[in-house]
Structure 1
Amino acid sequence: MPRGMGVRDPRAGRERAGLGGRDPPGSARDVAPRHRRPVLRGGRGFAGDRPARGPSVRRPAGVTPRVSVLLPVRNAAETLGECLASLAAQTLADHEVVAVDDHSTDGSRALLEAASRGDARVRVMDNPGQGLVAALNASWKAARAPLLARMDADDVCHPERLRAQAIRLQEDADLSLLGTCVRLVGSTSGPNEGMRAYVRWLNGLLEHEAIVRDLFVESPLAHPTVMMRAALLVRLQGYRTFDGPEDYDLWLRAHAAGARFAKLPAVLLDWRDGPSRLSRTDPRYASARFRELKIRALEAGALAQRPAVVWGAGPVGKGWSRALSARGHRVAAFVEVHPRRVGQRIHGVPVVPVEGAVATPGALHLAAVGQPGAREEIRGHAARLGLRDGDDLIAVA
């Protein structure tokens, strides 16, 4: 299942370098067998807060669950059992799993049906269409709960995950989407450094302001960690079918609709990385598709009727300049700190030093350097020039 972007594969290019942060402690898989105390301190619990194990879990007819887990499945037989076991072990017993089989041919369907026979909370249905987006839309339309939790068939939940997220959403009525921190797991070769850097950055974005500040850098939420209000997904008319990343598109549309984001600081999901992930193999998750989405979202907001100033004349900045020009936007200047580049012209656009960045009144400044530390360095220069982060300056790499 995809997690967002091909950026996490080093083959996706230099645009994905330089994400900062710290590695998360612990592992959902390591903690799950023995940790039963609440991850979050305080707050109100639910009457059904206990592990629901065994082969005979049944829900009274007509009872609405508190949480519906959206689980698209396609040829995931090797990992599906562990995924389903982690859901069955949730301390929030009052949930359902809406599993949509996307035409599997490897025995995944048999595993789902066996799980459903043992636990009536597991509902199995066929994908009425083809592909991940069709499966996701079928799952949320069939879901019965007011809260929807995403899960992928190759990942593992900490047993407190659903309970912790449901409590936070219950206590904060203004919150729309809530993620968690993740721990990477993978093949014997291990996740690549680009993916590890991405996760360090991802796990450092916890509150709405930090998430929105970096929304145009990368996908700030790991899709299979998210719990959201069903009403929001209805309002947004679900996932959009198009030639691009469905999760990042949803976050951008949710932000435009005024949704508030947050992330629990606990590691509540083991997130599998491997060579077969769609973000490595499917062109919908290539960096160019993400950039196109970013530009379209900016056109509806900060970029509307404004020239652009691109900070960084390297490969990332040049890519942004070409993409902006192709959509009819005027790039007024590149801003560079390297003296050898200052004074050149790239794509017919002058390269200016930092002190010349504000020569174009009313411009939207785009921080487009993917090297470690560059984003914060640019933000520091921009602040000294009187540019407001989020209004006059937006980081896009």
Structure 2
Amino acid sequence: MNAPCISVLMPAYNAAGTVADALESILAQSFTDFECLAVDDGSTDDTAVVLEALAARDARVRVLRVPHGGIVSALNAGLAAARGNYIARMDADDYSLPERLKLQYDFLECHPCVGMAGCRVAFGGGEDAGGYARYVDWTNTLLDPDRIAVERFRESPFAHPSVMFRASLIQQHGPYRDGPFPEDYELWLRWMEAGVRLAKLPQTLLRWDDPPTRLSRTDARYGTDVFYAMKTGYLARWLAANNPFHPHISVIGAGRMSRRRAMLLRDHGIVIDRWIDVDPRKIGNVVDGVRVCGRDCLPAPEAGFSLAYLAGHGAADDLEAFLHSIGYVAGRDYLLAS
């Protein structure tokens, strides 16, 4: 049996109520040269029954049943069994539009310098999920590999089930890593640190649902503290390689949470010269041994490097407008780190 061009990797755990629709959206793709590796992660409901019924109907579906070990174990089991030159991710509660595989495959075939192609996604959450919806809106603005690279320390720039990547990346850089961190974000950071270019198609090709059981809502590995602890190591190495004034930086944001996140860099040898804030009540204080200054203390363009740790919807956009007005360039003079 000839190997397919694409292996669609879909882990499923207790997803009997949604997995049929998710898998049907893959089987309805206009691009047909694929296999779908449906990895049943030790489900205790009828997930396996649903998957086996679909596999009996369509030979492109391969069901792998593994003991329950979590998403990383299931993903890596699927990767080990995959035969395609490309790996497309899919989740058991999302929905792929019919042209998704074709457009991502065509893009990667035409752009050999790009290792992974995501796509814009439609948010399938409810009215009470404003934060997630804003996150989706942000990810949908990131298309160009250079923009993705410079924005990567804010949040994960891709919806995990929306991506397709070259299987050779797993051979070169290893599979998903299991630990107290989001497995997808760690993979993207690892690849970009190695120089892999990641892009995103402008078309909306996936409906990304947000049920209450989504792992990013329920699993401790997706919590804010572990998120920052993991990405800080990658950020520190980026600074060591790209900041001409290493190990010195200024940190924009002097609030308690901003300082807590920025202080993680000290464990990696980064020296914080000053906190920059706009609150006149903070300016002049010394916090954690570092003086709080106003924006007038920012280094001139190309005379220092700044990291911004800001909370609040819209704060980053307002800051970037100001920084650009004084000649700052993202990646040269500053990065947004939250």
Quick check: TM above 0.5? Answer: yes
Q: Distance in 2 between matches of 1:325 and 1:146?
A: 41
Cα displacement string for residues 309-330 of structure 1 (whole angstroms, at most 9, x for unaligned residues): 2101124422223323355533
1:353 aligns with 2:294: yes
1:191/1:185 CA distance change after superposition, 3 Å:
farther
Of 224, 238, 262, which aligns to 1:321? 262
Amino acid at match of 1:264: L
Name the structure with the higher strand share: 2
Question: Kindly, what percent of the aligned residue pairs are identical?
Answer: 40
Give the alignment's TM-score, normalised by structure 2: 0.93
Which of these residues, 97, 117, 122, is aligned with residue 158 of structure 1?
97
How do 1:201-240 residues align onto structure 2 when only pairs under 5 Å count?
201-240=138-177
SS of residue in 2 equivalent to 1:176:
strand
Of the structure 1 ranges 386-395 and 86-95, higher mean CA displacement relative to structure 2 is found in 386-395
201-210 or 241-250, which deviates more? 201-210
State yes or no: 1:107 paired with 2:46: yes
Q: Are the structure 2 counterparts of residues 280 and 315 from structure 1 closer, same or farther at C-alpha, using a change threshold of 3 Å?
A: farther
Once residues 173 and 332 of structure 2 are traced to their aligned partners in structure 1, the CA distance between those partners, rounded to angstroms, is 25
Cα offset for 1:396?
0.7
Give a deviation string over 1:91-139, Cα, whole Å, max 9, x none. Answer: 1111100111100010101111111111111001122671110111111
C-alpha distance in structure 2 between counterparts of 1:95 and 1:191, whole Å: 37
Q: How does 1:44-55 map to 2 (within 5 A)?
A: none
C-alpha displacement of 1:180: 0.9
Distance 1:278 1:63 in 2: 35
Q: What secondary structure is seen at the aligned counterpart in 2 of 1:366?
A: strand
Q: Distance in 1 between matches of 2:258 and 2:165?
A: 34
Call closer, same or farther: CA 1:268–1:120 in 2, change over 3 Å. Answer: same
Return the letter of the residue paired with 1:365.
S
> What does 1:380-391 align with in structure 2 at a 5 Å threshold?
380-383=321-324, 387-391=328-332
Q: Does 1:142 align with 2:81?
A: yes
Q: What is aligned with 1:170? A: 109
The letter of the residue matching 1:137 is N
Give the alignment's Cα RMSD to 1 decimal: 1.9
Secondary structure of the structure 1 residue equivalent to 2:264 = helix
Q: Match of 1:371? A: 312
Larger RCO: Structure 1 or Structure 2 (Cα < 8 Å, ≥ 6 residues apart)?
1
1:303 offset after TM fit, Å? 4.1
Unpaired segments of 5 or more residues in structure 1?
1-61
2:40 partner amino acid? D
**Structure 1, 387-396 or 324-333: larger mean CA deviation:** 324-333
2:317 alignment partner, SS class: helix
Question: What is the identity, as a one-letter code, of the residue corresponding to 2:281?
Answer: R
C-alpha distance in 1 between matches for 2:34 and 2:157: 26
Per-residue CA shift, 1:42-80, capped at 9, x if unaligned? xxxxxxxxxxxxxxxxxxxx2111111001111000101
| More displaced 10-residue stretch of structure 1: 302-311 or 135-144 | 302-311
State the SS of the aligned residue for 1:241: coil
Within 1, Cα distance between the matches of 2:79 and 2:158?
A: 19
* CA distance in 2: counterparts of 1:241 and 1:182, whole angstroms: 26
The answer for unaligned runs of 5 or more in structure 2 is none
Deviations 1:148-181 (A, max 9, x none): 0000000011011111111111111111111111
Q: Which amino acid aligns with 1:336?
A: D
